[in-house]
Amino acid sequence: MTDTNEKLTDRPLARRAVLKGAGLGLIAGGVAAAMPAAAAADGEIWSGEYWTQKGEVPLLMFRKRIGTPKSSEPPKPVLFFVHGSSVTSRSYDISVPGHGEYSVMNEFARYGFDCWTMDHENYGKSGRTSGNSDIKSGAEDLKAAVGVLVHETGQQKFHWMGESGGALRVGLFATMAPERVNRLILSAFTYKGEGSPTLTKRAEKLDYFRTHNMRKWTREDVLSIATRDRPGTSEMAVMEALADADMKFGEQMPTGTYLDMTANLPIVDPKTVAAPTLLIRGEYDGIATVADLQEFFAQLPNGDRQFVILPGVAHSVVLGKNRQLFWHVARAFLDMPQPTST
């Protein structure tokens, strides 16, 4: 990812972006401030960083697409990736030399999407507060991101994809701002959590989550993502690369999503999710049973919905060995043609 420590007020371009954005009535006080990035030749992947604001909290946003953005070009469909409880936005843009493509943002940029993600409050490059960054807080982060998306792309509705805790964040967001959701992908999602071995184990620390806003998260914890549910479904080299990317932000993660998943489920009411929805579960994912997800799926009101179980996949769908299965089903869902009759 592009790295910069420039202050926004030191850059005339950023100030112009802020002033122009203020006239748009951006949601939750969000304002766009684009970081400088080199132009990309036709066919090359371009990337850039942006900042938005949720109240007093600065939130980092990151974008990848083919070619430098130009106001004169037809808009590309926007796909926004929402990260989980124990990772940052870098989980969607990991480079693992010698192991093939692991950046889902690169892959979907090549498919023609304008790919975005963000670091939630208390994660990655975004601002640090005394809060625990629960699911509702994450949904509010996404509301703040919308202003930047509208300003930078000229569009009003976007595709959204979340994994694990990110699926809960974006699922809740979809009920709060349905007018901003085109198509919705919920991966490694959990509804009520009944029968989940992962959440049963996690609940052993419920008292800690209730009394602490941060939890210890070490390199060994990152590596355990590859072995927790089904060893062999993820490459250790990938988790090493993820640890390299994330551990520079410290050995702590917020407790809010863990508290919500162990004490406050259900968070998302399926009857209020109006958008076309793709529900994805890895065959060996321990965070939700098939029955739990079927109950959620059955209550979705939109007839345009799919529930897919990916073979040979555990909790980590985008970083698993069989990640190409995710690419296939997600792309097919997002490229679904409009029905000719209803």
Query: What is the four-CA torsion angle of 238, 279, 52, 136, rounded to 10 degrees?
Result: -110
Contact between 301 and 277 (Cβ < 8 Å)? no
Domain boundaries, the chain: 8-334
H helix or E strand, kind and range, residue 115? strand 114-118
Chain centroid, CA 213 distance in Å: 21
Distance CA 118, CA 51 (A): 9
For the entire predicted model, the pTM comes to 0.90
What is the average pLDDT score of the chain? 90
Domain 8-334 in CATH 3.40.50.1820: yes
Q: What is the pLDDT of residues 148-207, one digit of tens each?
A: 999 999 999 999 999 999 999 999 999 999 999 999 999 999 999 999 999 999 999 999
Please state, in angstroms and as integers, the Cα–Cα distance from residue 109 to each residue in 66, 103, 290, following that order.
Answer: 6, 10, 31
> What are 9-68's pLDDT values in tens digits?
332 233 223 323 333 334 334 455 555 566 676 689 999 999 999 999 999 999 999 999
Structure tokens at 296: 């959620």
